[in-house]
Structures are given as structure tokens and as C-alpha cells.
Structure 1
Amino acid sequence: MKCDVYLTFDGNCEEAMTYYQDVFDGEIQVMMRYSDGPPEYSNPEIENKIMHVTMTFGNGCELKASDRMDISINKGNGYHVSVMAEDEDQGQAIFSGLAHEGQVTMPFNNVFWGGKFGSTIDKFGVQWMVSTPHDTNA
């Protein structure tokens, strides 16, 4: 069994996923526009928007997303995308990338349960938690 994260955007999916590709050193596996779909999806207003995109990164991680122009997107606070970095340097780099032009809700720092942790809302309104492994030498 596998569980992935699927994000929904209101027109800026390609911008967001390109940004995440840079932050996570990821690779876009699939990027389909609405114009690539069947005729019933044909609409000049959305033809260049993203119907589906899959990005892989890290050790088997996938982030999927699309633009939904037919519904109102309410950016909520009922979820976070949680990322476990391999080490402190990687964690700091990922956190800094996601926090750029966003809002840090908890600085990336040592935490009482071990390792480092931080949370941020990125410039696209997605909430992220970035952790590092617990320090086993402490």
C-alpha cells in the first residue's frame, strides 16, 4: 500500500510544482494540461492549466497536483505536508526553500523530542512540516 499527497491549486499549479521541484531536487514524471485531455475537457480558458502532474523526489516520495478551475479552492489549515529530511543540512535547505516568501509558523530548530523541526506556510498557501531524524548521540 502507498499513500501520496495530492494538492489542488486554482490556476498556479505549474508555478507551484516547478518551485517544489527546485526545493526538493525533484523530477517531474508526468505533466498533463487540460488541452491534452479528451474533448470534453477542451476549454480555451483553461487549456494551458494543469490537469495532472506527478513529481518524485527523495526515497520514493511523490507529490501530485492539479488546477481545479471548476470549484472554489479554500486554502485550509486542516492539513500539513510532512517531510522527513535525511539530515540537518537537507532539512534546513528544504525548510528555507519552502519558507521563502511564505510565513514561518515554527522556526526550524532543535525540538524537545529530538532532531530538528519547523513548520511554514509556503507562498502558495500550503502548510509544511519539516523534520530531521532524532539525534541518537544525545
Structure 2
Amino acid sequence: MQINPYLFYDSNCEAAFKFYEKALGGKIEMMLRNEEAPAEMPSPPERKQKIMHARISINGAILMASDAPPERFNKPQGFAVSLTVDDPTEAERKFKALSEGGSVNMPFGKTFFSKGFGMCVDQFGIPWMVNCPAEM
């Protein structure tokens, strides 16, 4: 069994995944647009280029997403995508990349439980936690 986060964006899924591809070293594996759906699943003209389903692989982990219809979009809350990075320098670099253009809830820094930890919301409204675990 595998558990994967599925994120809903406010019509900026494609931009978010291209950003994650660059910032996190991911690889976009699928970017299915509404216009590619079967004829019996029509979408309004202004939504044809929006993303019906996307999939990105980031260091073996899978993140999936789509553009929520405007009437169904809710601001993300009550969760964060957690990123664990073994090297503290790389963890901080990824944290800085994710927080660029967004907001920092907890600056990246050493804690009692990690070599580095930080919390942010990226420019697309997705909450992230970046952790570099302490030696056990």
C-alpha cells in the first residue's frame, strides 16, 4: 500500500508543479488537461487548459494534484506536506526555495529534535514542513 498527498490548487497547478520540479529536483510524470478528457466530460472553455490530474515524482515520493473548479476550491488548511532531507545544507536550500514568494511560519533552524526544521506556505498556498532529522 502507498499513501500519497493529493493537492488541489486555485488554477495554478501547472505553475506549482513546474516550480517543484525545479526547486525540489522532481520530475513531472503526468499533466492531464481538462481538454484531454473524453467528450462526455465537457468543461467550460475557460477551464480547458486547467489541470485535471498531475503527478510528480520527487526523490521516489509521489505528489499528485489538480486545479479545483473555482466553486469547489478551499484554501489549504489542517495539513502540511512534510519533506525530510538528510543533509542540513540541502534541507535549508529546499526550505528557502519553497518559501520564496510565500510566507514563513517557522524559520529553518536547528531544534531539539532535528539538525534543521522549518515551516512555510509556498507561493501557491501549500503548507510545507522541511525537516533534517537529528542522528538517532
TM-score of the superposed pair, with normalisation by structure 2: 0.93
Structural RMSD (CA): 1.3
Shift of 1:93: 1.3
Gaps of 5+ in 1: none
Match of 1:85? 85
The 8 Å contact of residues 113 and 133 in structure 2, kept in 1 or not, is answered as no
Larger mean Cα displacement after TM superposition, 68-77 or 5-14: 68-77
Q: Does structure 1 residue 106 correspond to structure 2 residue 106? A: yes
TM-score of the superposed pair, with normalisation by structure 1: 0.91
Match of 1:20? 20
Aligned-partner SS, 2:35: helix
Aligned-partner SS, 1:3: coil
Larger mean Cα displacement after TM superposition, 82-91 or 103-112: 82-91
Shift of 1:42: 3.6
Larger mean Cα displacement after TM superposition, 69-78 or 32-41: 69-78
What amino acid is aligned across from residue 90 of structure 2 in structure 1? Q
What amino acid is aligned across from residue 10 of structure 2 in structure 1? D
Match of 1:36? 36
Shift of 1:70: 5.3
What amino acid is aligned across from residue 104 of structure 2 in structure 1? V
5 Å-filtered alignment, 1:1-138, equals 1-39=1-39, 40-58=41-59, 60-69=60-69, 71-135=71-135
Name the CA shift for 1:72/1:42 in 2 (closer, same or farther; >3 Å): closer
Shift of 1:57: 1.2
Q: Which runs of 4+ in 1 moved over 4 A?
A: none
> d(CA) in 1 for partners of 2:92 and 2:42?
41
What amino acid is aligned across from residue 58 of structure 2 in structure 1? F
Aligned-partner SS, 1:65: strand
> d(CA) in 2 for partners of 1:71 and 1:85?
36
> d(CA) in 2 for partners of 1:123 and 1:10?
12
> d(CA) in 1 for partners of 2:117 and 2:70?
36
Shift of 1:47: 0.6
In the alignment of these two chains, the number of paired residues is 135
